[in-house]
Every structure is written in structure tokens, then in C-alpha cells.
Structure 1
Amino acid sequence: MALPAAFEQRMQRLLGEEYPAFRDALARPQARGLRVSPLKIAPEQFAAQAPFTLTPVPWAPEGFFYPDTERPGRHPYYEAGVYYIQEPSAMAVGALADAKPGERVLDLCAAPGGKTTHLAGRMHGEGLLVANEIHAGRAVILAQSIERMGVQNCIVCNETPERLARRFPEFFDCIVVDAPCSGEGMFRKDDNPAQSEWTPELPSFCAARQAEILDRAADMLAGGGRLIYSTCTFAPEEDEGTLSRFLERHSEFSVQQVPTPEKLSPAHPEWAKNGNPDTRYAFRLWPHKLDGEGHFAAVLHKNTGGRCDAPVLQETYSKKEREQLQTAEQMIADLVKQLPEGRLVLRKDKLWLLPEACQLDVTGLKIKRMGIEIGTLKKNRLEPAHALAHALAPEHFLQVCNLSAADGSAEAYLRGETFPYDGQKGWTAVAADGFVMGWGKCAGGIMKNHYPKGLRWVGK
């Protein structure tokens, strides 16, 4: 692998005797990983029954390596949201954040959703999770990840950090900033443009942007809360340097000393100009010391400040809309035994369920999704949303058709095929070995396929 000359010179200077091992590691194939969702199954239980060869990731209990010869991303379990394909080093961020049930958590730079769904798994559906992405196209991908993984308690935003900070001062208990960076840690990764786009000036440009994002995150963090800062670069200017400058600007923060996860290495304050000595409590993930790409991560604690609340959603409906909601409640009873606790909200013809923590007034913000999409109201009927199928366990549905991932029937469903089915007429959740993939509708002994056309397997 040909690396930029300026990058090599800097890394040789920093690593010294370690540089040959570092350089050799970048020439080896990248490690592959998946992270099991506790919202679907206990990670250890899945590992015991998985149809793949899995090896635990030491720094993330939900994470597993898998060999390059296997393709879990082309399996019905993936489509059912049982796991997320994620680069192993990236799993360290969610593990260090350690989001708790009942907390208010913000993933400020969230697309494509790996870290957000990691946080969601730790929260077990309790509390509020806000996932934000400033780029509209990537925010759509983020929303799709949240849907596939069946996350119930999430608000997906397409906003600037500045606008969010004005709306949510001192509001969150935990904020993750996986900051835009020069991407040096991803030089080895397949089909990644980081290397071709890299220039010697890029780390300085990224560091300025990181400072702006971190300052807004500091505004939104409640007193006593924690801020997790991470990058996927080796550049000290963006790692120890950005962190040191943040601590200069924000005396209310300190680097939290947390137990060192296995395989992670301490950061290097001496590599940054005027490096704060406390940045030694941050972590670096090196490709020559573990099976993964290059990352940097730190846990910061906000030592002062309060905790504020945000305005609660106030809905007003016309008489017609109130009647539609009452009718919808009756129609929902034909689909599921019981919905999670929350408030039904009508947005034009779409019906949503908002858990209590998600019932915020977000007027004026660009929202991609909020809570659980229940379905679309049409003439005298409710067409259930694909998101609803992912959000609930099989036992919550009135009718479930359980297919097998081993005999090809689940794959046929994912291709959009209909099939004979001797079941009750009506909407039916279709599962693969107990993991719900989507909807079908049974009529006349045939299961009509309602898996979304845009998600169907083609040529698989």
C-alpha cells in the first residue's frame, strides 16, 4: 500500500522503533466485525447459536470478529436487525460511552448509525436517544439504520450543532462526538476515499471544525455528564491536540480516568503542541497492536453546571383527526397484542408512537424520524409500517409466520416472493428463526409479500 509521503514521515517520527510494525499492519487485510443488538438477543446467546465463526472483540462485549470468508451482511439475520456490521475498533466508542437505561443521550455526528445503535442497545429502550447528522443524505441512511435495528426511543435529526445547542442547553447526560476527521485510521479500509483525499493541511482544517462541534456539545451537556470524543485518525493535532485545546477553553471539564479496555493504548500528550498532561487518560487504538483500524477516544466529565428540561410536545387535533386516532387504535388491536407505552401521534396520514422520553417539542427542527412509525392511515384501514415489524418482538404480534434461514425460505421472502401459507387472513409478521424481518398479508392460503421493494434482495 502506497501511503502519502508526509504521513509516513510524521508517523515514523512519532512511532520510532514501532513504525515498521505499524507499516506492516497497514499492509495486512482489515479485520471484520459485527455487533449484536441486545434489543434482539443477548450477545452471548447469539454467539452460541450463530451460523458464523465468531470471536469476541475484547473491548466491546457485544462485538465479534468474523472471518473474511463469511458474509453475515448477506444473511436474513442482518435484515432482521439482529446485528450491525461494524469495524471492530469503532466499537470502542460505544463501549466507553456506556449509555445507561433512562439517560438522555446525544450522538451528535451519528451517520451511518453504528455508534447510535450501540448506544441504543445499552439503553434497552429506556430514556431518550437523539441521533443527529448534519448532511441530509447521510441522515436518511442513519434513519434507516435506526429502523432496521428496531430502536424505539430515538429522535433522528438533520441539524447543525449550533441549532441543537440553542434548543437543548445543559440537557443531555451523555454526548458522543465521533468527529469528522482526516480519516488516517481508515487508510487500510476497503473502498475508503480517505487516503486519496488526504493532504498535509487536512488535519488542521479538521481540528478547527472539531473545536466548533465540541464547544456546542459542551453547551448541551448537563452538569455531571460525560462527553465522549473520538476520531478515526492518527493525527495528534486532531486527537491530543484538539482535546488539549478544548480543556483550555473549558475549565469545567476534565478527562475522566476509566479502566483501560484490553488492547487499547494510552494517548501521548507530548505529541501535541502544549499538550495537556491529562490527555494521557485518553486512548489510542493501533492496527499493529490489535485487530482493527486506527482510532482515538476520550471520556470527558463536566464538573459543574445544572441539568435542564426541554418543552414537552403539545398536540392539538381537529375533530376529524381525533376520530382518526380512535379508529387507528382499534385497527392496531388487529395487528399487535400490545404496543409499548407511549403516545400516539398523527402526522398527516402517518401514525407514530412516541415513548414518554421522546415527547419533546421539536418544532422548527429538521426531524427524520421520532419514536416508532406505526403505519399509514388509508381509507378505512391502517397499513402497518416496516418499522413497526422491526420494533417489536415476535410475541407481541397477533400473527407470526416463522421461516427458516437455513432452508432458503427466509431468503425467498427477502427477494419479494409470495408463498403458500395456511394461516389466518390478514397482516402477519414474517420472521427468520424468530427474528422479525417484515410484513406479509395472508389471503386465500397465500402469503403476499410486503417486504419493501427498495430493500428486496436482487441477485442474491
Structure 2
Amino acid sequence: MQLPRDFQIKMQDLLKEEYEAFIHSYDESKSQGLRVNTLKLSVETFLKESPFTLQQVPWTETGFYYEENSRPGKHPYHEAGLYYIQEPSAMAVGESVAPRPGEKVLDLCAAPGGKTTHLAAQMQQEGLLVSNEIHPMRARVLSQNVERMGIKNAVVTNETPERLAEHFPSFFDRILVDAPCSGEGMFRKDPEARAEWSLDNVARCSERQLAILNHAATMLRPGGKLVYSTCTFSPEENEGVIAAFIKAQHHFDIVEGPDYQGLSHGRPEWVAHAVPSLEKTRRIWPHLVKGEGHFIAVLRKGDGEQGQRLKPAEILKDHKLIKEYQSFVKASLNTIPKGQYALFGDQLYLVPDGMVSMKNLKVIRPGWHLGTLKKNRFEPAHACALALKNGEAKYTVNLSKDASEVVAYLRGETLNIDGAKGWYLVGVDGHALGWGKLSNNMLKNHYPKGLRWTGR
């Protein structure tokens, strides 16, 4: 593998006798992993049903290495959101944030959604998760992954850290800053990261990272936890950023990071003006563990002023406006979705508990998308289907993962089904895939056109 020459010189200077082992790791195959979505099933159930050969990732009970020829992204279980394909080292970040159900949590640089979906699984649909991405196209990918994993309590925004900081002073219990970086830790799996790397880009990244971290600090409540992570080895972007942040933000302390075999402590001696507590940060090296490069710093905010109480979200009070939806629920569901409704044009959402006003912010997904109010009828959303569990829909079509019908459904084809007229929740081995509408024993396919399988 051709690595940037300046990168090799820099790493040799930093690692010294470890350098040979480090550089040889680039000749090895990259590690690949998936994380079980415990919003939909337990790890034990998944392991019984899994068609893949798996090996446990040390730092998370829900993470597993899979073999290169497994192709889990091409399986119906992937479309059902039973797991998220995620680089194994990245799973240590979500474990470091460790949000609890009911908390207010921010993932500030969230696309494509690996860490957001990890946080959501830990929150178990309780509390408020704000997942932000500054780039519009990436924000849409983030929103799609939130949908696929059946997450009800996430709000996806497309904003700058500055605007969010103005809107949410001292608001969140936990914040993750998975900062954009030079990507050194991804060189083994991403040729583009190698091609774009330079010493100048490292310097630019460190300036941007510190600015983002400072904005995040203003949004954290006193006593809250802030986790900073990168997928780079660069001390300038890791220990250097944290040292500068701690010196500027005197009410923050570094606390001990995750402790697993193979994770290394931070190196204060690699940066100027360091603080000894940088040893509490963690770095993941590809020559020491099965995974790519990562850095994690866990920070705690000390005492300070509480933020002002934010205005609650505007919710729907006149339920007569959604009588078509209520008719759909009566005809098609065994349980009534609980929570507060909000209308955005003709789109109906169930907003998370603790939802506050998002006025003047760019919001991509303001909660659980239930569907569209059309003239004299209601059309349920794909997100509505993917967050339903077995038994919650009155009519279901359950397909086997190995059946030709499940592939036909994912391709958007019509299915021949005997049954009563109405909306059917189509699933694979008891796990929701999407909607179909039955009439005259023909199930019209409502699997979204943009997600349909082609050429399979």
C-alpha cells in the first residue's frame, strides 16, 4: 500500500521501535464489523438467527467481526435494520458516550449514522437524541439510517455548530463530537483519505476541530459528559486539540477513557503545552487490535450556570385534523402509538419526549415519521413500518430470509396474497421490512422506490 511519504516520516518519529509493527499492519486485511440493533431484537436472538460467522468485538457486547465473504449489506436482515455495518474501532466511541434512557443527547457531526444509531440503541427510544450533520447530502443519508434502524426519538438537523450553540445553551446531558479529521486511521480501507492527506490538511483540521469542540462546550449542561473522537493518529488533531480546549475551558476535566486490552493511553509528550491528564485519553492502533485507528477523549463539565428553559415544541392539539390517521390506526394497528403529534405540512410525526422548539433551524426529521395525510386517506410512512414490532400490526405478511418472495418484495414487485383488504406489514422472519396494501388478493408494493434492490 502506498502511504504518503510525510505521513511515514511523521509516524516513524512518533512510534520509534513500534513503527515497523505499525507499518506492517497496512499489509493486513481491514477488519469489518456489524453492531446488533437492540431496538429490534436481543443479541442472543440475533446470534440464533444470524446467517453469518461472527466473532465478538471486545469493547461492546453488541458488536461483532464478520468474515470478508459474508456480505451482510446484501441481506434482507440489513434492510430490516437488525444491524448496522460499522468499523469495529468506531464502536468504542458509542460505548464511551454511554447515554441513559430519558437523557438529552447531541451527536454533533453524525453522518452517516453509525454512532448515532449506537447511541439510540442505548437510549431505548426514551429521551431526546439530536443528530446533526452540516452537509445536506450526508444529512439525508443520516436520516435514512435513523429510519432503517427504527429509531423513534431522534431529531435529524442540518445545521452549523454555531447555530446549534445559539439555540441550545447548557441543554444536553451528553454530547458526542466525532470530529471531521485527516482520516489517517482509515488509510487501510479508504484510498481517498490517503490521496487527500497532507501536513497542511492536518493543521487545518485541528483548527476546525477546536472550534467545533468549543461550540459543543456551550451546549453541555453543568455535570454533563462530552466525548471527542477522531479516526486519525495525528497528535495535533488529538492530544493537541484537547490540551488547547482544556486550557481555554477551565471548567472541563479529562476523565478516564475506555479500558480494554489493546487500547493505548494518550501521549502528552507528543504535543507542546500539554497537560498530564492527557494520559486519560485513548488511542486505538491497527497493529495492536483488530480495527482501524481511532482516538477518544472523555470530558466532564464542572459546575456552572444552567441554561434557560427552552420553549417546548409546538404540538398538535386538535386531533380532528388527523382523523384519517386515526382511522388507519383503528383499521391497521393493534396498538396506538403513544406520544405527542406534530404536523409539518401534510406530514405527521410523533415527536420525542422533551422535544423543544426547533424554530429557525433546518430540521430533516423531527421525530418518528408516521405518514402523509392525503385527501380522505392516510398513507403510512416507511419509518412507521420499520419501528413497529411483531404483533403491533393487524395484518402481516411474514417471509423467510431464504424465500424468493422476500427478494421480490425488496425489488418492488407485487405479491399474490390471500387475505382481507387493507394495509399489511411485510416482514422477514418476524422483523418489519415495509408496507404493502392488499386488494383482490394482490399486494401492492409500498417499499420505497429509492431503496429497492436492483440486479439481484
TM-score under structure 1 length normalisation: 0.96
Displacement, 1:324? 2.5
Superposed, 1:17-416 pairs within 5 Å as 17-190=17-190, 192-308=191-307, 309-315=309-315, 323-358=320-355, 360-416=356-412
Change (3 A) 1:447 1:211: same
Distance 1:24 1:103 in 2: 43
Kindly provide the CA deviation profile for residues 334-377 of structure 1, in whole angstroms up to 9, marking residues without a partner as x: 2222233211222211111113223x111100000011111111
In 1: Cα distance, 2:159 partner to 2:238 partner: 25
Q: CA deviation at 1:379?
A: 1.7
Is the contact between residue 325 and residue 346 of structure 1 (CA under 8 Å) also seen in structure 2? no
Distance 1:393 1:316, change over 3 A: closer
CA deviation map 1:2-60 (0-9, x unaligned)? 11111001101111111111111012111110011110111233123311001110012
1-structure distance, mates of 2:158, 2:258: 34
SS across alignment from 2:204: helix
Residue 445 in structure 1 maps to residue 446 in structure 2: no
Contact 1:59/1:263 (<8 A) preserved: no
Q: Secondary structure at the match of 1:345?
A: strand
Which residue is equivalent to 1:423?
419
Residues 218, 450 of structure 1: alpha-carbon distance in 2 compared, 3 angstrom cutoff: same
* Alpha carbons 1:394, 1:429 under 8 Å: kept: no
Q: Is contact 1:158-1:368 (8 Å) kept?
A: yes
How far apart in 1 are the matches of 2:55 and 2:436? 35
| Aligned-partner Cα distance in 2 for 1:203–1:136 | 24
Q: How many equivalent residue pairs?
A: 455
Mapped partners of 1:342, 1:322: distance in 2? 13
How big is the shift at 1:251? 1.0
**Is the Cα–Cα contact under 8 Å of residues 170 and 305 in structure 1 kept in the other structure?**
no
Q: CA deviation at 1:236?
A: 0.3
SS of 1:394's partner is coil
Amino acid corresponding to residue 355 of structure 1 in structure 2: P
CA RMSD of aligned residues (A): 1.4
Unpaired runs of 5+ residues, structure 1, are: none
Would you say the 8 A contact 1:335–1:427 is kept in 2? yes
Q: Name the CA shift for 1:262/1:434 in 2 (closer, same or farther; >3 Å).
A: farther
Kept in 1: contact 2:372–2:379 (CA 8 A) = yes
Q: Alpha carbons of 1:198 and 1:259: their partners in 2 closer, same or farther (altered >3 Å)?
A: closer
Change (3 A) 1:316 1:37: closer
Q: Which letter does structure 2 place at the counterpart of 1:187?
A: F
Deviation at 1:285, TM superposition (A): 0.4
What do the CA deviations read for 1:132-153 (whole angstroms, capped 9, x no partner)? Answer: 0011111111111101111000
- Residues 369-411 of structure 1, C-alpha deviation per residue, up to 9 Å, x if partnerless? 0111111111211011001001111221111110000223212
Deviations 1:56-82 (A, max 9, x none): 100121110000011111001100111
**TM-aligned CA distance change 1:341 to 1:296, over 3 Å:** same
Cα distance, 1:49–1:117 mapped onto 2, change above 3 Å: same
SS at structure 2 position matched to 1:356: coil
Deviation track 1:104-139 (CA, whole Å, cap 9, x = no partner) reads 000000000000000000000000000000111111
Residue type of the partner of 1:377? L
Q: Name which of structure 1's ranges 227-236 and 418-427 shifts more when overlaid on structure 2.
A: 418-427
Asked if structure 2 preserves the Cα contact closer than 8 Å seen for 1:101 and 1:124, the reply is: yes
> What is the distance in 2 between the residues matched to 1:42 and 1:205?
43
CA contact (8 A) 2:177 2:229 kept: yes
Structure 1 position 306, deviation (Å)? 4.2
Q: Secondary structure at the match of 1:459?
A: coil
CA–CA distance in structure 2, aligned partners of residues 408 and 421 of structure 1: 14
Contact 1:440 1:447 in 2 (8 A): yes
Question: Is the Cα contact below 8 Å between 1:153 and 1:357 reproduced in 2?
Answer: no
Alpha-carbon distance in 1 for matches of 2:18, 2:373: 62
Deviation of 1:328 after TM superposition, in Å, equals 2.4
Question: 2:251 and 2:43 mapped to 1: Cα distance?
Answer: 37
**Identity score, percent:** 50
For structure 2, which runs of at least 5 residues remain unmatched after alignment?
none
- Residues 178 and 331 of structure 1: CA distance in aligned 2, closer, same or farther (over 3 Å): same
Question: Can you list the C-alpha shifts for 1:420-456, whole angstroms capped at 9, x where unaligned?
Answer: 2112211100000011010011111122211111110
- Bigger drift between 399-408 and 431-440 goes to 399-408
How far the C-alpha of 1:322 sits from its partner, in A, is 5.4
Normalised to the residue count of structure 2, the TM-score between the two structures is 0.97
Deviation at 1:259, TM superposition (A): 5.0
